[in-house]
Structure 1
């Protein structure tokens, strides 16, 4: 009997020991099944690549309070799971720890000075709703540099938040964006985009009269007639191998639906870089509803001037747009390429209209007309183009501005340079971004691609756009309608009939 008891004890010890060993092995592995379309709960290949290229130890300190409201408890657990994945794929170069700053007053002060605030949270305790202070921030340390995520209230975008900061820490050259505002719109109409860019880049405004040397990505918002010196500064910025994004509005529309169009000669400058800007307005059968006021009443009406660019006509191979579902462009013009200039360049047509679009150069009546019919002649237009290659200066065929130091004049780029063109600016206006928040992803992806490279785009765009319900034909609608009405009854009748036939045959065989 004692021998049998000993065998049972040994067997139990073996089982427990095996389970412990199995658990230790699994801790080194990441086993997770992600069935979402964009695999939003799995670390992206971009993150894995960045982690594999770390050349020094990264320390992540998660400053999370132990006492949290029930709705935030899962956030802490999910952050810990995600950091465990980061640690695994970094092969030990990324280390993390969780600390509650409230346990140490000195640490609490240090964390606050880092930029991680003590936030107020509601919690039920002893049948009372109480307001407590707590921390939900993350600090990332790499060499002698530090980046901070002030508050983590959700893990929806946590991979982008962490990886973008890792990339920023590991990048030798800081990405500095210079914003050159040339639109006839009020600058106050455009604030949201700048707040978004400032989260991940060093951003400041620049003038066409002076572009600082440390600006390595120039974002030009709008366009207007510029003097030779201003054009020279932009041109030489490009000749130095610096990247540019141009959001051009050849026809600017006011709140009163008045048009302010540029002259053809005002946009001749872009032909030097292979882009022809059309001074027109494009309409499309794929469009959005726009709000209008009449007799003191607000109403929405289909408005072909508000083009809805859809995924079907985005470049399928470009990570800048291939994960976006749609982008809305209000009062958009068109652009095209100058083949002679771009014959040896890499060209990517990022966004096009549908083939059922049409253009007009008559801007006198922009009010919606529900009875207007599209013209017979329609075609596809380009909205955004990305070019990469070596360019010659605009001033190789133009006289230099007076007072320019000719010894510093650059006639061409030494290395290929990226230039991005979008024939619309309104898509990032605050009012439009509040209506269509997905629009900002397009601009951020452009900045990521030309600033950091393409690594971050894969992460940012995953699971972030809407999934519109596809329109059904009449016969499909009727199929679902009558199927829901009579389908269940028909299935019961068929199953009942089959069962009856089966039982009758069984009786006949027995008889």
Structure 2
């Protein structure tokens, strides 16, 4: 301990001396101020922080590898060259203090100055955290990467400075050598090489490893790489200075020992990188939610594999330069699946362009073909056909993911395309879940049933049934007999006659809403013909259908799948029709594409008054055109215990040449919602916390009308975040933000008797407007501001209601039985009537079970393709948050919370809070002022320390 203390004191004194010399001149403060000014300029202007609208500090560190070259070269250029020029180097070489103390001390001094320069940038992440939900994990990782990268450049600069006697020469040479290591892994070099060669060069480059740490992954291989460079150049620094102590033409044993020791240290430091490159699990994911680490739901899916799972990656060595850096990231993630697969996951990679067998398999077995990409460089433009595909294969079922499924592309402020992996774990895990479901659905349904099921038929006596139902009853018995053989004891069957048991009739009327049926309006014949399937926890109804054996078998299988695990769920999607064959009505192609990744989406019209029996979920988009028969289908689906997700409001959106118009309506669907206790008012929510959007503006300039698109503060586009999102339900938890355009307030009837869960609220300063003129008005060239009117407060625009609902058609005749048909039936014989009215049985379920659920959003336009494109034009990337909202609701309704947890693990939902241009300027100028304050504080601390030292010195003199 006595030997270490002087060494520590000596190193600290040497480092302190260099720091004092740096701050001895006002140039030091100008230097730090210049560094801060360049950083702030790049952050706010170069990368347009507010225009990006993402709550991260990526612009701060994007240019840091380049800035550090000049910063570190400037800090280190005088450390040894000034000693050599002034003649004090000989004095240091002849002192009894070991030379390594000076090398380490000067390095620590320079590193301390670098840290002081980075401290000046701390107000930037603090500002971002106040303006949005900043993930601090990648921020601290980025600062650590900056310090390590700066340490490499400082070690290089000190080595160069020890060989020069001129500071300018030292600066130039240091920048050149640091730039060499920077360029090794940069796209300037890697774009000219194949994927394999480019991957090797990225392992040597300082900038390529820097980006890995800044995204929040602390990989031991990257950290050691920087440490190895620091060790190598500090050793070279000490070795070259040590050689100047030696007498010329003298080669003693000690000299040879130092020489070989230096080679061994440098060689081992570099070769350790090769050994560590084989270790892929020594890393720490510092992001919130561990988005770069396999989540627990993924591990659970892999742990329950029954068959071997094969993940094949087809990647070309030569591909598009923007896709090339993503290949090693995706490969590392896929290897994680192999590690956590417990021997049941096999991972393979192949390049079909060089492997003919892999190419044949990709084309013949999976239908994968190369995609042509245009590659431009400064010399030529060419087309490269390459592969970027991942195949998930399980039990004979497979799914292919190409680059369109895996990447997210957006353009920055300079119109440069930025390509990143979207959420690869979610995409791959969703594909695994899909092939597992497809494999299980191809086998015996009852293999995935964990609890026995009971089929219950509430049927009247055969003599009381119409003849078509008598024949249908025999078909049901035959199908059930066959299904019981396949069930191996997991399916029991029982039939009851409510007509003969008044108590049972009362029970099923109260529990299920089952009441006596009729064949038509004027018939006096009453009978029961209801069927249910369920277990101890849940009961669902099996519809009658078309009274055919194949139809009943299909309905029964669909009901069994409700209780089975591992089957692809079916969503019945109802969208409005175009007003005419030549008019372009509302389209929801993006919604269909997004939901189709995990569900079987089928568009329906409900014209027959029924929802498909195999539909697990009903989704309604802008259902203002529903007629009475279609509404009956929705109502009875809910009464059967289903879940209805709807986006509806009293307004219909139209895009015209003159701008945007809203047409008010009050259809049957809104009356149905009001009956359920959900009243969507005929008003619009206007929120000062909103998303600015490009709006077509017509201005009159010099007597001419000019049409322009301008970004305006538009309160109709409520920007919902933080308190407006319910953090206690997986539907909105971790969503981050949602833009809800032209929404209407939802008023909930507190006496409806159902459980209400609020999902989306506007801000506390929002207000309501009944004006359907939503286009901004201009006075001259100035836009009239939107001013609050009336009472302000939070407005409910998204809600979930669950419980026992009463039917809108209770005590009414079924719309499926028309008066005209009834009249015809009355005029015919009973035998003909029974044959003709097989599909028109007057049956209305009056109550729903407690499992019935309605999820309502009062903005049908938030999911329209045209509105999503407007939102995408603002962020310069595809806007997915509202699509995620509906997808989360679908996963929640279908109890698929595993994928729901992975779905939220994405950086792309972290946006800034809405703010005006004046507020943006305030935060920008506040950061400028913070830099000045920090520099003043550093100067005051330096002055205080100097005065304290003078007082101690004077005290010693006086003593």
TM-score in same-fold range (> 0.5): yes
**Which of 922, 935, 950 is residue 488 of structure 1 equivalent to?**
935
Deviation of 1:94 (Å) = 2.0
Deviation of 1:163 (Å) = 0.9
Q: Deviations over 1:328-367 (max 9, x none)?
A: 2221112132333344x3x32110111222223343x333
Number of the residue aligned with 2:589: 191
Paired residue total? 487
**Which of 790, 793, 799 is residue 379 of structure 1 equivalent to?**
793
Contact 2:426 2:903 in 1 (8 A): yes
Contact 1:184 1:252 in 2 (8 A): no
Q: Structure 1: how far apart are the matches of 2:329 and 2:318?
A: 16
Contact 2:717 2:739 in 1 (8 A): yes
Q: Structure 1: how far apart are the matches of 2:285 and 2:698?
A: 49
**Which of 454, 459, 462 is residue 897 of structure 2 equivalent to?**
454
> 1:44-443 counterparts in 2 under 5 A?
44-68=295-319, 71-105=322-356, 107-113=358-364, 114-121=366-373, 130-151=382-403, 152=406, 154-171=420-437, 172-182=566-576, 186-187=584-585, 189-210=587-608, 211-224=611-624, 226-255=626-655, 256-263=659-666, 267-290=670-693, 291-295=695-699, 296-298=706-708, 299-343=710-754, 345=755, 347-363=756-772, 365-369=773-777, 370-403=784-817, 405-406=840-841, 409-414=844-849, 416-436=851-871, 437=879, 438-443=881-886
Q: Structure 2: how far apart are the matches of 1:330 and 1:314?
A: 16
Contact 1:116 1:149 in 2 (8 A): no
Q: Secondary structure of the residue that 1:238 maps to in structure 2?
A: helix
Deviation of 1:453 (Å) = 1.8
Contact 2:320 2:384 in 1 (8 A): no
**Which of 904, 907, 910 is residue 463 of structure 1 equivalent to?**
907
Deviation of 1:238 (Å) = 2.3
Contact 1:180 1:205 in 2 (8 A): yes
Contact 1:123 1:132 in 2 (8 A): yes
Change (3 A) 1:238 1:86: same
Change (3 A) 1:225 1:205: closer
Q: Structure 1: how far apart are the matches of 2:718 and 2:596?
A: 28
Q: Deviations over 1:183-233 (max 9, x none)?
A: 778435433222323333322321021432222222111022533321111
Contact 2:691 2:717 in 1 (8 A): yes
More off after superposition, 464-473 vs 46-55: 464-473
Gaps of 5+ in 1: 1-14
State the structure with more CA Rg: 2
Q: Structure 2: how far apart are the matches of 1:261 and 1:122?
A: 49
Deviation of 1:86 (Å) = 1.8
Contact 1:112 1:118 in 2 (8 A): no
Deviation of 1:136 (Å) = 1.3
Change (3 A) 1:377 1:184: farther
Change (3 A) 1:124 1:475: closer
Change (3 A) 1:396 1:286: same
Superposed CA RMSD? 3.4
Contact 1:193 1:428 in 2 (8 A): yes
Q: Deviations over 1:156-205 (max 9, x none)?
A: 32111101112222333222222211377843543322232333332232
Deviation of 1:489 (Å) = 4.1
Deviation of 1:34 (Å) = 1.8
**Which of 287, 292, 300 is residue 41 of structure 1 equivalent to?**
292
Change (3 A) 1:194 1:266: closer
Q: Secondary structure of the residue that 1:59 maps to in structure 2?
A: strand
Deviation of 1:54 (Å) = 2.8
Q: Structure 2: how far apart are the matches of 1:225 and 1:68?
A: 49
Contact 1:58 1:93 in 2 (8 A): yes
Contact 2:814 2:842 in 1 (8 A): no
Contact 2:631 2:669 in 1 (8 A): no
Contact 1:313 1:352 in 2 (8 A): yes
Deviation of 1:311 (Å) = 2.6
Q: Which has the higher contact order (CA 8 A, sep 6+)?
A: 1
TM-score by length of 2: 0.47
TM-score by length of 1: 0.84
Change (3 A) 1:184 1:309: farther
Q: Secondary structure of the residue that 2:568 maps to in structure 1?
A: coil
More off after superposition, 412-421 vs 184-193: 184-193
Change (3 A) 1:342 1:225: farther
Number of the residue aligned with 1:5: none
Higher strand share: 1
Q: Structure 1: how far apart are the matches of 2:913 and 2:718?
A: 18
Q: Structure 2: how far apart are the matches of 1:249 and 1:382?
A: 13
Q: Structure 2: how far apart are the matches of 1:371 and 1:103?
A: 63
Q: Deviations over 1:259-286 (max 9, x none)?
A: 3222376512113444222222121222
Q: Secondary structure of the residue that 1:80 maps to in structure 2?
A: helix
Q: Secondary structure of the residue that 1:92 maps to in structure 2?
A: coil
Q: Structure 1: how far apart are the matches of 2:719 and 2:925?
A: 28
Deviation of 1:258 (Å) = 3.6
Q: Deviations over 1:236-255 (max 9, x none)?
A: 22233333210103112323
Contact 2:813 2:842 in 1 (8 A): no
Contact 1:319 1:457 in 2 (8 A): yes
Q: Structure 1: how far apart are the matches of 2:338 and 2:596?
A: 28
Q: Structure 2: how far apart are the matches of 1:111 and 1:273?
A: 53
Structure 1 position 502 matched with structure 2 position 915: no
Gaps of 5+ in 2: 1-267, 408-419, 438-565, 700-705, 778-783, 818-838, 872-878
Contact 1:222 1:248 in 2 (8 A): yes
Higher helix share: 2
Contact 1:175 1:452 in 2 (8 A): no
